[in-house]
Amino acid sequence: MPAAALATIAKARLIQRALAALVVVVPVGMAALLGGTSILVAQIAGTSTSCTSAPQESATTSNTSQPAAQLSEGVGSLTVPGPNGAALTLDSQQQVVAGNYISVGQSLGVSAKGIQIAIMVALQESGLRMLANPAVPESLGMPHDGLGYDHDSLGSAQQRSSAGWGTVLQLMTPAYDAEAFFGGPRGPNNGSPPGLLDIPGWESMGLGQAAQAVQVSAFPELYDRWAPAALAIMDSVNGTDLPQNCSQAGPTEDPSASQIPANLSATRQAVLRYAQEGVGGSYVWGGTAFKAWDCSGYVQWIYAQVGIVLPRTEQWLAGRPTAAPQPGDLVVQGPDGPNHWGHVGIYAGAGMMYSALNPSAGTLLHPVSWNPGAQYFDLLGPAPTN
C-alpha cells in the first residue's frame, strides 16, 4: 500500500479513537437495520444516472461547504435528503466515514460519479458507520459504531475478509474500506476481488448497477435510493465536481429493453407480453399464484400462458444452454452447485431481464448484471432465418 494511503489510514484510526468515547453504540435492533443489504428491505427509489434535480442536491448543515479534510474529521452535523425525501442527519462519525470515501476517491482521481456510487454503497450497507460483527470476535475489540450480522461482513462497505477484501484490521478502517471499494491499479487487492475501477465499463452503467457490480448484493435495487443523499454529502464539500442537473431515468425504463421486437416468433412475443403483465407482482417465497409468486413461480406462469408446462423448479432442464440468447429465453443466475442456480427469469434483450427479484423489489424489469453468474437456456427454438 502507498505510504500516503498508510498515513491516511493512521490518521483515520486516531480520529476514530478520539471519537470513540463520544459515539453512542447503535443498539442491537438498530444495528440489524443498518447491518447490510441482506437485512434492509425498501421500495425502489428509481434513479440510476449520475444526474439529479436541483432540490435533491441541497443539503442543510451547520458547517456548509466543508473542505474534505474537515468533513473527514466530522465537524458539526449534516442533514441531507434520504430515501423518499425524508431528512437524514449525519453525526460526526458518519461524516468521518463519508469524508474518507471522498478524500480517497479524489486522491485516486475517481470521477464524481464514482465517489457518489461509493457513498451510496456505504449508506446502504452500514448507514455510513463502521460495523463490527459478533461472527468475527476480533472486530469487537476495535473502534466501531455498532454491530452488523451479515455473515462475516465488516466495516462501512460490509466487505468480507474471507472473500479476500482485506484483513479484519484493514476492513475496520474507513480509509481502507474506500481504497478497497474503488480498487483499480492502486487498489490494495490488485483487482481480486474487483473494486469499482476494476469493473469494465462501469462509467456507462447506472449508479445502482455499478454499485451492484462490486457488491454482488442480494438486494441490488436498494442502492439507487441513496443517490440524492450521496450527492448532497458531496455538495457539502468544497471542490467536489458534482454532475450537472439533468433528467433521470430508472433502471426499468430502458425503452430498448421494454419494447417487444417485431422480428421475434409469435411465441417469443407472447412470452414477453406475459412477462410484462406480471410486472408489479409481489414476491412470495414458494408462491405460484398470479402476482404472488417467487422467481420460478413467475417463470412457470409465463410459459404456461403459451402452452409450455415447466417443472416447479430447475426449469432450465427443459431447455438447452445458449451463448446467443434471444428475448424470451430463460436467464439463470447465482450458481449454487453443479448445473444449479438460485435465481431464474426471462431475458428481455439489451442486457435486461424480467424476474421476481426478492421481497423488496417484487417483480420487475432490471439489468441482468444485478445478479452474478448469468447463463441462458433456450426453451423456444431457433430464431427465424429471414
**DSSP string over 51-112:** ---HHHH--EESSTTB-HHHHTTT-S-EEEE-GGG-EEEE-HHHHHHHHHHHHHHHHTT--H
Evaluate whether residue 104 is within a structural domain. Answer: yes
Sign of CA dihedral 152, 155, 156, 159: negative
Evaluate whether residue 385 is within a structural domain. Answer: no
Do 171 and 199 share a domain, yes or no?
yes
Do 101 and 205 share a domain, yes or no?
yes
Predicted confidence (pLDDT) at residue 328 exceeds the cutoff of 70: yes
Do 228 and 267 share a domain, yes or no?
no
Predicted confidence (pLDDT) at residue 275 exceeds the cutoff of 60: yes
- Residue 121: domain span: 3-235
- State CA 52 to chain mean position distance: 18
CB-based contact 320:284 (threshold 8 Å): no
- The mean of the pLDDT values for the chain is 77
**DSSP string over 167-178:** -HHHHTSHHHHH
What does the pLDDT read at residue 60?
Answer: 34
Residue 78: pLDDT band (50, 70, 90) is confident
**Sequence-separated (6 or more) residues with CB below 8 Å from residue 300:** 288, 293, 310, 311, 312, 315
Q: Single out the residue of 9, 11, 36, 20 nearest to residue 133, CA to CA.
A: 36
Evaluate whether residue 250 is within a structural domain. Answer: no
Domain closes at, from 181, 207, 235: 235
What does the pLDDT read at residue 383?
Answer: 53
pLDDT tens readout for residues 24-77: 333 323 333 233 333 232 222 233 323 332 223 333 333 334 444 444 444 567
